A and B are shown apart, each in its own frame.
Chain A
Amino acid sequence: MSEVAVSIRGLKKSFGTRTILDGIDLDIYRGEIMYIIGKSGSGKSVTLKHITALLRPDEGEVRIHGKNIFEMDDKELIEVRKKMGVLFQMAALFDSLTVFENVAFLLRRFTKDDEDTITKKVRERLRLVGLSHVEHLKPADLSGGMQKRVGLARAIALNPEIVLYDEPTTGVDPILAAAVDDLILKLNHELGVTSIVISHDMESVFRVADRVAMLYDGQFRLIGTPDDFRNSQDPVIRQFVEGSAKGPIPIL
């Protein structure tokens, strides 16, 4: 097996009396596309926020390339985060900055590139996500789908080794959803990144994922290939894969 990029061990998190993550373990290998699925509120986003150290766990650890991110000081964390790109669900573009400034954010802050080089790199990143002639616009002038692409261009500006996607196909039309899937594959192949995708879009899972982990009741119910999920006899998995309202998973 290839090298482990992200390793989650015994991760526990509660908010008040609600336990969201009840000791989860997961290894994500370098270069693979890992989908974390589950119904709304099952803790997918909370898991992602732990991998990016936006939240601190009650117990457990997340190791990125072998180092526990919760034991790092500010400096080490900054170095790790430079190697990670995150696409937020609503893109979370800086609305006071233009598209160009958003994508150039990391380049301006962490490289000594001159303006010409930055301009070249920003255009190249935007082209990679299929956008051109939008550099001077503000995020508010863009459609939701375009915002997501700009968000992705911003996330990959510094050639990260790991890219995390928070529900990339939620709230976009089917054609754009397919385009986003293609983008995830393309980045994975062209830049060789490790991809972690939070999703509940099963079509996207079967189209893109190398492996899938399903969160249910604060635990991973199944970690396996898309085929494992297709062939699973577990009624919980069956219900989720088939998208049925009837089954063991409570709707509310």
Chain B
Amino acid sequence: MIRYFHRLGEATLSLLESIGSFTIFTVQTIRWIFARPFDVRALLYQLQEVGVKSIPVGTISSFFIGMVMALQLGVSMEKIIQGVSSFMGGGIALALTRELAPVLTAVLLAGRVGSSMAAEVGTMKVTEQIDALSTLATNPVHYLSVPRFLAAVISLPLITVMAIVLGIIGGSIISYVRLDIPFNQYFETARSFLKPEDLISGVTKTFFFGAEIALISCFTGFRAQGGAEGVGQATIQAVVYSFMMIIISDYFITYIYQLFGF
């Protein structure tokens, strides 16, 4: 019995230690953003890796989400109330903008980019490249974490906007093909349902998602130890914790936004 309490205590301590270290890491990353030298080259490279190369994944997935929503919503709504599917454009646009596109894009990026950040930083850690950086008078957080953080925070909102647009277009095609909803009616309801605050709410929360992905993935990479196995563990943790944090924080951010009328 005492053994279980002992284990519980140890687990709690280790959790608290991790949260503390993560907080320090976050503060350090943000502080080092403003330190010289400002590495433009590294930032551009990360924007390419994190942002540009994620566009196909983000937009194609969202396109199909729009299509499948039209299919599901249209068919099941028509069964209940005839003619209600003429509001399809508004429904899809609202759902995509406020919730689906931001979260879906964030989760896809966590899988694609978070895993590679954790693996790359983790490998550098276990092969002493991070120690080498320090001895080369370069702060590892400054050199590795800052460009990845900035790239994720800049890229994710932009890709989300593209995902929203592509998703709405995907929905319009299926609405027309399967439910005979004319394009102009679809886009008219989308336009009248969608308010600026929906877009603000949907897109701004991806800043936080992007920050979470980059910080968690770099953090787990920095804590990797013990060779290939440690890098594997760090990668798993990066993806799993990013997924969880995205979805958990999504609730709280939305809740806070609603308090302010968004």
Interface residues of A (CB under 8 A from B): 49, 52-54, 74, 78-79, 81-82, 84-86, 88-90, 92-96, 105-106, 109-110, 154-155
Once A54-B134, A95-B129 are accepted as A-B contacts, the answer to whether A74 and B37 lie under 8 Å apart by CB is no
Contact A88 B139 (CB under 8 A): no
Q: Pick from A54, A79, A84, A109: contact of B131, CB below 8 A.
A: A54
Interface residue range, chain B: 10 to 19
The minimal Cβ–Cβ distance linking A166 to chain B, given in whole angstroms, is 9
Q: Which residues of B contact A86 (CB under 8 A)?
A: 132, 135
Q: Pick from B124, B127, B134, B137: contact of A90, CB below 8 A.
A: B127
Contact B137 A110 (CB under 8 A): yes
Closest to B130 in A: A92
Q: Which residues of A contact B137 (CB under 8 A)?
A: 78-79, 81-82, 106, 109-110
The minimal Cβ–Cβ distance linking A99 to chain B, given in whole angstroms, is 14
Interface residues of B (CB under 8 A from A): 37, 120, 123-124, 127-129, 131-132, 134-139
Q: Pick from B124, B134, B136: contact of A154, CB below 8 A.
A: B136
Contact A54 B135 (CB under 8 A): yes
Q: Which 5 A-B pairs have the closest CB atoms?
A: A92-B132, A81-B137, A92-B128, A86-B135, A78-B137
A242 to B123, CA, bound (A): 38
The minimal Cβ–Cβ distance linking B14 to chain A, given in whole angstroms, is 14
A28 to B132, CA, bound (A): 22
Of B129, B137, B139, most A-chain CB atoms within 10 Å? B137
The minimal Cβ–Cβ distance linking A72 to chain B, given in whole angstroms, is 12
The minimal Cβ–Cβ distance linking A107 to chain B, given in whole angstroms, is 11
A105 to B137, CA, bound (A): 10
Q: A82-B137, A93-B129, A95-B127 are in contact. List 17 more A-B contacts (CB 8 A).
A: A52-B134, A53-B134, A78-B137, A81-B135, A84-B135, A86-B132, A88-B128, A88-B132, A90-B127, A90-B128, A92-B128, A92-B129, A93-B132, A96-B120, A105-B136, A106-B137, A109-B137
The minimal Cβ–Cβ distance linking B42 to chain A, given in whole angstroms, is 11
Q: Which residues of B contact A96 (CB under 8 A)?
A: 120
Q: Pick from B124, B134, B136: contact of A106, CB below 8 A.
A: B136
Contact B138 A109 (CB under 8 A): yes
Q: Which residues of A contact B134 (CB under 8 A)?
A: 52-54, 81
